[in-house]
Chain A
C-alpha cells in the first residue's frame, strides 16, 4: 500500500485491474486504491508477472502492507500460479516511485488518458461511486453516459429507475462502517492533520509581489484568437510554466525537508491545488513542468483537473509533488498566503487578476494586476532566495513568448 501523502495511514484496495498471471510493465495501472482523498490509480514500477494478489478487493490495509507479489518474466507459470513460493517473487514496490521512470515518461507527455489507460476500464465520478456504494449497487451494473463515458450520479439514479438489483453488490461497492471514497468529513480530517503538522513544524516566512499581467494576457488573447476552444490556453498555464522556470533558477525551493535537512529534487513536479465539488482539496503533481510546451501543459492540466474531479488520479501524482501552487482563479480573492504541504518547503499562491492603478513611465494607468504570494520553509531557505524567486516569476511573465 503506497503512501499517497504525508497524512495517509491506510487505504482500501477497491479494484484489481490485473490478476495472477498478468504481465505488467513499468507504469501500468494495476489497481485502484481509495483513501479519504478519493480513488487513485496505482501504477507498478517494475516489469514482471503478477504471481499473487495479497490484498482482496474491499480490504483496508496500512501503508507499507504488500498488495501483490511480482515475479520476473518467465519465472512463474503465468496461468495457474502456485501459492507464491516465498523466495522468488518480490513484493511490488509501489511506495517509492523511481524518479528515473518519471523522467522517461515525462518526455513523451501530454498526459492524454487514452495513451496511458486501458480503454475498457469503468470510470466513475466520486459522487456516483459513493452513492452507488451507499445503495449497494455494483459498479459493474452501471453504464456511463458522462464525459469520456464515465459513470455519473445521473447514471446511478437511472440504474435504480431501471430496477438494477442491489442484492449482489461487488465488494468494492459495499459501504464500510468507516466509509472512505470521497467523504467530506474524512477529507476534512486529512486536511486538518496535514495542515496542523505544517503549522506545528514548519517555520513559514511570507513574501508578496504584485505582477503586471498585461503582456501575458495580451499574448494569450492573440494565441486564443487563432485557436479552437479545445486548443485555447488558460492563464493558469503561463503561471505554471513561469513558476517552473523560476524554480529552475532557485532550486532551494523545490524539494523536501527530510530528516532535519533539505533534499532538493531533480525534477520540477508542481502540485496543482484543485478544489473538489462537495468539499475538500487535492494537489496532485504535473510532472516536469519546466520541460512542457504551453499547449502540452494545458493538455496535462486539463487532464489532471478532469481526473481529479471524476476520480482517476494516479498514485504517483499524489506522491511526488516537489512544490505546490494554489491559484484562486477568476472568481477568487485578491491573494492567497498558503500553508506548506509537508514535506515540501514552499507554496506559491496566485490571487485573482484585478484591474488596478499602476505606475508606468511616471504615469498612473489601469493594468491587470496579479498578487503572487510565496510561503516558504525558513529551515530550508531564507527570504533572499524567496525574493529572487518571485522576481524571476515576474520576469518570465513579462516575456510570455519565451515560455
Chain B
C-alpha cells in the first residue's frame, strides 16, 4: 500500500469510530488515542479495521507502534510489502 492509501484507510476507520472528529487534521506524531479521545475498545476497533481492510497481521505487541499516524503508515508500508501480490 502507498502512504496516501494507508492514511486514507486509517482516517476512514477512525472517522467511523469517532464520527465527531476529523482524523485527517491529526499531527503525524500525535498519539491518536489522545488526539481523538478514544478508549481501549475504540483502539481495538481500529486494529480490527486495519487488520481486516489492509490484510496485515497485527499482534498485540505491535500496538504501541500504531499509536501515531506516522507509526501506522510506517508499519503498514513495511507489512504490506511482504504480502502476496505486492510489488
Report A's interface with B, CB cutoff 8 A.
Answer: 125, 127-128, 146-147, 152-154, 221, 224-225, 228-230, 232, 234-236, 275, 277-278, 301-302, 305, 329-331
Contacts and interface: CB of A to CB of B under 8 A. Distances in A.
Contacts of A128: 19
A278 B41 contact: no
Contact of B19 (A146, A230, A305): A146
A275 B40 CA distance: 12
A232 B44 contact: yes
B84 interface: no
A277 B59 contact: no
A229 B20 contact: no
A329 B37 contact: no
A331 B34 contact: yes
16 contacts: A127-B19, A146-B19, A147-B17, A147-B45, A152-B19, A154-B19, A221-B60, A225-B59, A228-B51, A229-B58, A230-B52, A232-B60, A236-B40, A275-B39, A330-B39, A331-B39
B75 to A, nearest CB: 14
Given A147-B17, A229-B51, A230-B48, 12 more contacts: A146-B16, A224-B60, A225-B60, A228-B51, A229-B48, A230-B51, A234-B41, A234-B44, A236-B40, A277-B37, A278-B20, A331-B39
Given A128-B19, A146-B19, A229-B51, A302 B41 contact: yes
Given A224-B60, A228-B51, A331-B34, A277 B18 contact: yes
Contacts of A221: 60
Contacts of A230: 48, 51-52
A236 B43 CA distance: 14
Contacts of A275: 39
Contacts of A232: 44, 60
Contacts of B30: none
Contact of B20 (A225, A277, A331): A277
A302 B47 CA distance: 14
Contacts of A330: 39-40
B80 interface: no
Contacts of A224: 60
Contacts of B16: 146-147, 152
Nearest to B31: A331
A228 B47 CA distance: 10
Contact of A331 (B33, B45, B47): B33
Contacts, number: 53
Most interface-central of B34, B39, B52 (chain A CB within 10 A): B39
Contacts of A154: 15, 19
Interface string B23-41: 0000000000110010111
A351 to B, nearest CB: 14
A274 to B, nearest CB: 9
Nearest to A305: B41
Contacts of B40: 234-236, 329-330
The 7 closest A-B pairs by CB, nearest first: A229-B48, A152-B19, A147-B16, A229-B51, A229-B47, A224-B60, A230-B48
Given A146-B16, A147-B16, A152-B19, A229 B44 contact: yes
Contacts of B52: 230
B47 to A, nearest CB: 5
Contacts of A329: 39-40
Interface in B38-81: 39-41, 44-45, 47-48, 51-52, 58-60
Contacts of A236: 40-41
A139 to B, nearest CB: 16
A82 B79 CA distance: 66
B79 to A, nearest CB: 14
Contacts of B37: 277
B41 A301 contact: yes
A275 B37 CA distance: 11
B60 to A, nearest CB: 5
A125 B48 contact: no
A330 B33 CA distance: 10
Contacts of A235: 40
A67 to B, nearest CB: 30
Contacts of A331: 33-34, 39
Most interface-central of B15, B16, B34 (chain A CB within 10 A): B16
Contacts of A228: 51
Contacts of A147: 16-17, 45
Contacts of A305: 41
